[in-house]
Amino acid sequence: MFQRFQQQFLSLKNFYFITRYFLPWIAIAFFVTASYGVIDGLFFAPADYQQGNAFRIIYVHVPSAFTAMAIYFVMAASALLTLVWRTKMAAICMSVSARIGVWFTLLALVTGSLWGKPMWGTWWIWDARLTSVLILLFLYIGFIALQSVIAEVQTRDRASAILALLGVINLPIIHYSVIWWNTLHQGPTLSRFARPAIANSMLWPLLSMIAAFLLFYVWILLLRMRNQIILRERKSLWVQELMA
Q: Of 85 and 204, which CB lies nearer to another protein in the complex structure?
A: 85
Q: How far apart are CA 156 and CA 161, in angstroms?
A: 8
Residue 147 CA, chain-centre distance (Å), reads 18
Is there binding between residue 237 and another protein (CB under 8 A)?
Answer: no
Residues numbered 76-105 forming contacts with another protein, rule: CB under 8 A: 83
Task: Show Cβ contacts of residue 149 under 8 Å, excluding neighbours closer than 6 positions.
Answer: none
DSSP 9: T
CB 91 within 8 A of CB 161: yes
Q: How far apart are CA 8 and CA 19, in angstroms?
A: 13
**Given 63, 101, 112, 167, the residue binding another protein (CB under 8 A):** 167
Report how many residues bind another protein under the rule CB under 8 A: 32
Q: Of 119 and 144, which CB lies nearer to another protein in the complex structure?
A: 144
**Given 27, 38, 166, 190, the residue binding another protein (CB under 8 A):** 166
Is there binding between residue 177 and another protein (CB under 8 A)?
Answer: yes
CB 58 within 8 A of CB 207: no
Q: Of 36 and 73, which CB lies nearer to another protein in the complex structure?
A: 73
How open is the CA angle 229-235-237, to the nearest 5 degrees?
90
Is there binding between residue 125 and another protein (CB under 8 A)?
Answer: no
CB 128 within 8 A of CB 181: yes
Q: Of 7 and 201, which CB lies nearer to another protein in the complex structure?
A: 7
**Given 23, 54, 159, 207, the residue binding another protein (CB under 8 A):** 159
Residues that bind another protein (CB under 8 A): 83, 135, 138-139, 141-142, 145-146, 149-155, 158-159, 162-163, 165-167, 169-170, 173-174, 177-178, 180-181, 232, 235
